[in-house]
Amino acid sequence: MSAFFLFFVFSTFVLVAFSIDPYKVLGVDRDASQRDIQRAFHKLSLKYHPDKNNDKSAQAKFSEINNAYEILSDEEKRKNYDLYGDEKGGPNLGSGNPGGPGDRSTYFTYGGPGSGNFNFRPGGSHQARPSFGNPSGSSSSFSFDFSGSNFAENIFSTFFGGGNPNGGNLFGGFGSSQGPKSGHGSTPPSNVQPINSKVFAKEVADEGLTWLLLFYTPSSNGYENAESILEDVANSLHGALKAGSVNCKDEKAFCKERGVWPLKSNRIFVYSYRSNEKGSLVEYKGDWNFKNLKSFCQDHLPRFSKRVELTELDHFLRTATNDLPKVILLSRKKETPVIWRVLSGLYHKRYAFYDTEVHDSSDPKVRSLGVKALPAILGMMSNGQKHVLSSGIVVKDLKNGVSELRGILENFEKKNKKAGAFGKTTKSSPSEARDEKVPLLEKENVETVCGESAALCIIGVFRSSRSRESLASILSTMSQKTLTRGQYHGGRDPVSYCLLDASRQAQFLNAFDKSGFKSQDKLLVAYKPRRGKFVVFSDDFTLEEVERFIGSVLNGDTELKKILRKPELR
């Protein structure tokens, strides 16, 4: 009983849906060119697509637009509609003029006893008759299985399910399920860029940006449909990827090189960075509809950002050995956000990307990093200086968000170059190379390098360039040993190393001793921030003696003094 009720409702829907003039639906004149029709369709489909328009009437409007475009984008269907009011052609009844324009009657064909298959078509007479052969041979016919429990599943999958290269669907597709005849749609829309071998080598291959590529020939069935899907996906992910089309008729050598020629049907590929740093073409083999293709593209966006636990972030930043400056995204997202993945692809040769999940901006670990609101981006120069690049980030959409964050990264890169820690064109001296591994303690990085998260901070204090060179060499070697208390008493606390310019940071040293150690050219301060205690080493500065000193502090064999106050940097 329920099956026949749904059948009645659907029959009524089809009758209403096809009673609308397709020219009026798209808002074009009857003498409109194919290009005008295509532009009108793209404009309206973007406006009323259910993924972009939450209005309750958008779904029905979107269906009308697709149905209208399906008729007017095909020469034969359009001609039949103009002559008979029915894209299938042939005389029929309606409006007092059999077969004339304005006839919108509907019929269904019954597939014979026991088949349970009905076909609906606009413009026909109200007749029931046997159907032989393939009832869905035309893209404007809809086939349903009314038998048993499959009825509800099939009717709803046809209404809302995905299409495929060889067949359309009522709501899920974009344009006609069959492409135009030869010559139609050979000019790609403005945001679908024509791609040849030279453009591919220059703009696509290994440039860090994901591309959605259609390989086709102008005479291919379904070309215009595939192109429409491409354009919609490219618009929805504008800023995250670009779309292009390769005419294999003109680019046979290029298509053959990519294993696409000879081309029997249209094929869609994503230039993906999912697997490794080198991009590669990955073919899309799912249903040809907006939702599935968009999901496929998102899945193949770059994955250069490394996920780090918040509890390990401080230690990780101190011990990471990548020579590139680092940028870290702090957000509430359980997975790396799309916008960060896009940026990691565009800048993966210039930055080391990381991201971490943060539940609350009031978390002490977050506050210690200088972050006051989420989401936020931290930047760490190659010399260890930390900066909060942005916090409380708000972006309007993907395109604007990528553009704004690119500006932030570009500015940070300039600061990094200005600091002399990035992009050197001349070979670094040994002392410079060592300094890059042992950060200079500054106001921006003091909490990260020598804050409460560090169990033991070894500070190399210098007053001359020679002393700095000596300390940098020793501490650089020690930092590679990654000593922990576990080597002595079973603990697992990390040791951090840094340098301090005594001539610039006298206030910091005064927090340990009133004299500020002014009489000494170089010394080591072993500082335990959590306990507020320290001890000074100023004896024989050999690697063996320094290692012995640090070991004794870790073992608890050396007596520590109480600091006068918490040390601060200007």
pLDDT of residue 138: 35
Burial grade of 264 (CB within 10 A; 0-12, 13-18, 19 or more): exposed
The CATH code for residues 192-299 is: 3.40.30.10
List, in order, residues 6 or more apart from 336 with CB less than 8 Å away. 303, 305, 307, 329, 355
The Cα 317–Cα 84 span in angstroms is 73
List, edge to edge, every strand of the sheet that includes 522-528.
495-501, 456-462, 522-528, 533-537, 561-562
Q: Which CATH superfamily is domain 306-418 in?
A: Glutaredoxin (3.40.30.10)
Q: Which two tokens stand for residue 114?
A: 């026991």
The CATH code for residues 431-562 is: 3.40.30.10
Q: Which two tokens stand for residue 336?
A: 């790396």
Which residues, given as ranges, of the chain have pLDDT below 70? 1-19, 87-190, 275-277, 315-322, 420-437, 482-493
**Residue 523 phi/psi, 5° resolution?**
-165, 165
List where CATH 3.40.30.10 sits in the chain. 192-299, 306-418, 431-562
pLDDT of residue 39: 81
Summarize pLDDT for 119-154 with one digit per residue, the tens.
333 333 333 333 333 333 333 333 333 333 333 333
Q: Which two tokens stand for residue 515?
A: 């004299």
* Pair 218, 249: CB distance under 8 Å: yes
Q: What distance separates the 2 farthest-apart alpha carbons in the chain?
A: 111
The Cα 210–Cα 300 span in angstroms is 8
* Pair 565, 507: CB distance under 8 Å: no
pLDDT of residue 332: 92
List where CATH 1.10.287.110 sits in the chain. 2-160
pLDDT of residue 419: 72
Tell which CATH architecture fits domain 2-160: Orthogonal Bundle (1.10)
Q: Which of 251, 241, 235, 240 is nearest to 199 (CA)?
A: 251
List, in order, residues 6 or more apart from 70 with CB less than 8 Å away. 77, 87, 139, 140, 168, 175, 176, 177
Summarize pLDDT for 397-448 with one digit per residue, the tens.
888 888 899 999 999 988 888 776 433 433 444 444 444 468 888 887 788 7
Q: Which of 309, 313, 310 is nearest to 448 (CA)?
A: 313
pLDDT of residue 157: 28
